[in-house]
A and B are shown apart, each in its own frame.
Chain A
Amino acid sequence: MAFVTELPYRVALSDGDVHKEKQTWETNYTPIYVMTTIFAIIFFIGPFAIKKGENKWIIKTCMMLASFFLWLFWVTVYIAGMNPLVGPQLRNTTLAWMAHTWGESALVTKTSGDTSSSGDTGSDG
């Protein structure tokens, strides 16, 4: 379900410089791979690292259970947030602050139908 679309986009930097770059846009699965790998290492390989000690079995069980549940919790949040169906409802003051500190959106599409260029959005009132 990855959408591979070629989009030119413009980055609006704070000093007004605008330049075009080409970027392939894909639904970003990197964090999932990274986190799953980390937790999978703990889940599958971790138990083999515990060789000695009389509490081997319980340490292994704890590692496996902990890594599974922690991974599950994280992956659920991530997948839930990948395609949000609604956005936050914010106060105008908060929105102004967001525009000021976080900058405007880095995504500007040039396909037909979408018009706004990067210049006149999000300026402080």
Chain B
Amino acid sequence: MGSLFRSEEMTLCQLFLQSEAAYACVSELGELGLVQFRDLNPDVNAFQRKFVNEVRRCDEMERKLRYLEKEIRRDGIPMLEIPGECPEAPQPREMIDLEATFEKLENELREVNQNAEALKRNYLELTELKHILRKTQVFFDEMADPSREEEQVTLLGEEGLMAGGQALKLGFVAGVILRERIPAFERMLWRACRGNVFLRQAEIDTPLEDPSSSDQVYKSVFIIFFQGDQLKTRVKKICEGFRATLYPCPESPADRREMAMGVMTRIEDLNTVLGQTQDHRHRVLVAAAKNIKNWFVKVRKIKAIYHTLNLFNLDVTQKCLIAECWVPALDMETIQLALRRGTERSGSSVPPILNRMETIEDPPTYNRTNKFTSAFQHLIYAYGVATYREVNPAPYTVITFPFLFAVMFGDLGHGAIMAAFGFWMCYKEKPLQAKKIDSEIWNIFFGGRYIILLMGLFSMYTGLIYNDIFSKSLNIFGSSWRNNYDGSTLQSNQLLQLNPDSKDYLQYPYPFGIDPVWQLAEANKIIFMNGYKMKISIIIGVFHMLFGVCLSLWNHLYFKRRISIYVEFIPQILFLSLLFFYMVLLMFIKWTTYGATPGHFGSQDPEIVKTSAFCAPSILITFINMMLFKHDKNTRPQCDDFMFSGQMFIQKLFVIVALLCVPIMLFGKPYFIMREQKQRARQGHQPVEGNAENGTAGGAPVPASGHHDEEITEVFIHQAIHTIEFVLGSVSHTASYLRLWALSLAHAQLAEVAWNMLLRKGLMSNDYQGGIFLYVVFAGWAAISVSILVLMEGLSAFLHTLRLHWVEFQSKFYGGEGYLFQPFSFEIILDSAGQAEE
């Protein structure tokens, strides 16, 4: 029975595979995703395993693919997503082909990149030369300008000029330097050469591309004039230090012009070559981009298969691989088929053998979920994985979780927003999934889309019942309250209260939910709602907990713990029902017994007074008095001090029986365990199916060696802890359900504040400017409604509901000591690899 009720039955199997067929069979099993392999070589180093070479080759291939991917991304080429089905894991011989392809691609790409870099360097040099030639033209023109001749005399003074009788010859170097370095460069030159050099510089307008880092940098052309060889060497050294590139610049203008033309031609040639290189690279990358996702999948699958093969044992004859695996019992047929397919594919003649093994180990827990139930199952697993074959709380969580959330969130408007959001995500499931959006928050919301949809729908229902839509109520069926005060009373009193014991109340309630008049009430709306909401919280809580205890009955039956039924289940149910379910009944009795009597409004008839609002007792006080066996003095003589005849006797009886349950819970089970252990000791350690101890799971084989007897004190302590936990927990958990009231109150109040402070002011404004004001105010109100009321309150209510399930509900029956079934599945591996990439 593969259902969610309890986890599936698992068998430990041994798998014998022929070495040739092993690869193909494992590939088929990986596609299936239903087998969890165990590591049969736990003490073997990763580097000493059998298939470590293949794994290494796969790693190498992955590295090459990642390099390719980086280059593709750099160029911004879109990578084709895999259409349709994932490609299957290729055969081992195909691996060599793949390796060759990747090798070739990588080498080609590296070569292209290197060439491109060299070409770019060349290009840079030529460009700089071009700029130099252009700019220095200006400098030389200035130097030759006759109007500036007096400046030429400065260097040696007039004596030198007269002595030499000729103009002094200035040497120069020309080069290019980064713009940022120019001030420091100038300063250095000035200091080092004692001001005897002359620097002219001009900025290059266009930025140049640095070949190694591909950054755009700004550079300047400079020319330094100096005299003499010493200065020349000094200048050259400084230029080296500042990493300025020097270029040979001819002196005569004619030479310069010629050089400039030559440079231009060479630049044009280089451009062409560069363009062609880039084209080639682009073509190579585009061709690779078509298949790269495909290749990634294939390589990852191969690697996964070899990792799995490393877990196997090689038998003595070296011809057969042995594997141990956990397999769901229902899927044996499917797995056999898969194995046969694998053997056929590999062309091997020997069929694989799959046979069951007996074991006393705990099998893993496996629950088959679909896309709807998996979200709820994950909520349960987050607390603890169910013990093997234990009752699974997840299917009930599908309804109780949204319901408890809705009790806390109850607002028709906000619920509608949430439901719309959930509906959109579920409706557009496939396209949204295909997009593979990165954001983690989105993935959390999208993963819980069905939860959100259900929460929204239930919230709409509870919103209708609470009669709360954005803090206003709907009057669909007509209120049951009327105003009977006349005009003069109204004029002289600002606040008036309606009396249910009169014509003000039509003596029948609003048919669906809370009467709409209560939203209009001033001071006592909250008081009334509190009384009602607290009671409904306790009622829901008691039912939820009783349901939890009933589930434990199924666990006891399945694990054949008959004694537990008598000494654990029955006392637990009695304790909870006699005390807390009785309180729930008291609430219903109070609601139906006390109130106005139509036709006898305001009557003083003692019989009628006894059932009027005046005599309604407080449930809390009644309950406390019941537990303490106290009897308060009757302060209202017209009223009975009981709600129904025989109440005192019944209450005393209930409390006594409930208290008697406690020692049964405390000592019952240890007593039976003790008795059994004595029996076993007398029979001399013959294995007896333990009825009281945690018996064997139904269907699993009885272990050959019995359990060794636990220490009797351990058993007592264990049971004492459980009993105290249950007894104290019953009180504290019941009170804990009051959070349903607290959060719904907070939500209602927040909604009211948002309405009164924001939208109401907008709606009450007049004229055209009122329209604009309303437009702005609505934006604010909507933003607050969505961000605080839907998102924040939603998150808060979600958390509290989760806590109610994990602690209050599950502590009644859940063990949660299992471990998860983690099958060898390509889907899971590819998903996690894809996520790790991003």
Enumerate chain A interface residues (CB-CB to B < 8 A): 1, 3, 5, 7, 25, 27-28, 31, 55, 57-58, 61-62, 65-66, 69-70, 72-74, 76-92, 94-96, 98-99, 102-109, 111, 113-114, 116, 120-125
Contact = CB atoms under 8 A, between A and B. Distances in A.
Given A107-B507, A108-B503, A58 B592 contact: no
Contacts of B294: none
A91 B510 CA distance: 21
A105 B517 CA distance: 14
Contact of B500 (A31, A85, A92): A85
B517 A107 contact: no
A98 B505 contact: no
Interface string B487-509: 11011011111111001111111
Contact of B403 (A57, A69, A108): A69
Given A90-B498, A125-B490, A80 B535 contact: yes
Given A98-B482, A102-B482, A80 B591 contact: yes
Which 5 pairs of residues, A with B, have the shortest CB-CB distance? A83-B595, A87-B498, A88-B521, A125-B487, A81-B509
Given A78-B509, A81-B480, A95-B490, 15 more contacts: A25-B598, A25-B599, A57-B5, A62-B395, A66-B399, A73-B461, A81-B509, A82-B595, A83-B591, A85-B595, A86-B613, A87-B498, A88-B497, A99-B485, A123-B487
Contacts of B521: 88-90
Nearest to B485: A95
Interface in B467-483: 478-483
A57 B3 contact: yes
Contact of B484 (A76, A96, A105): A105
A1 B588 CA distance: 13
A125 B507 CA distance: 27
Contacts of B536: 73, 76-77, 80
A103 to B, nearest CB: 7
A88 B503 contact: no
Interface of B: 3-5, 370, 373, 395-396, 398-400, 403, 407, 461-462, 465, 478-488, 490-491, 493-500, 503-515, 517-518, 520-525, 527-528, 532, 535-536, 539-540, 543, 588, 591-603, 613, 616
B594 A92 contact: no
Contact of A87 (B407, B481, B488, B512): B481
20 contacts: A5-B598, A25-B599, A61-B399, A69-B543, A76-B535, A80-B532, A82-B509, A83-B594, A86-B613, A87-B497, A87-B504, A87-B505, A92-B495, A98-B482, A99-B485, A102-B478, A107-B598, A113-B602, A116-B484, A123-B486
Nearest to B522: A89
Nearest to B475: A102
A96 B520 CA distance: 12
A108 B465 CA distance: 30
Given A5-B598, A102-B478, A104-B482, A81 B514 contact: yes
Contacts of B517: 88, 90, 98
Contacts, number: 215
Contact of A122 (B486, B520, B602, B616): B486
A57 B1 CA distance: 10
B511 A78 contact: yes
Contacts of A25: 507, 598-599
A85 B512 contact: no
A89 B495 contact: yes
B396 A61 contact: yes
Nearest to B604: A113
Contact of B598 (A3, A78, A121): A3
A58 B370 CA distance: 11
Contacts of A122: 482-486
B514 A121 contact: no
Contacts of A27: 507-508, 598
A98 B510 CA distance: 16
Contacts of A28: 508
Contacts of A103: 482
A65 B595 contact: no
Contacts of B535: 76, 80
B528 A88 contact: yes
Nearest to A106: B506
A86 B588 CA distance: 17
A105 B504 CA distance: 6
A91 B485 contact: no
A120 B600 CA distance: 21
Contacts of A99: 482-483, 485
B4 A88 contact: no
Nearest to A74: B465
A107 B593 CA distance: 22
Contacts of A82: 508-509, 591-592, 595
Contact of A95 (B496, B515, B592): B496
A80 B499 CA distance: 16
Nearest to A63: B399
Contacts of B513: 74, 77
A59 B613 CA distance: 44
Nearest to B484: A121
A47 to B, nearest CB: 14
A123 B491 CA distance: 11
Contacts of A123: 486-487
Nearest to A32: B511
Q: Which of B486, B539, B602 has the most CB of A within 10 A?
A: B486
Nearest to A66: B399
A18 to B, nearest CB: 16
A5 B486 contact: no
Contacts of A125: 487-488, 490-491
Contacts of B485: 95, 99, 121-122
A69 B484 contact: no
A92 B480 CA distance: 18
Contact of B398 (A62, A77, A80, A109): A62
Contact of A88 (B478, B512, B518): B518
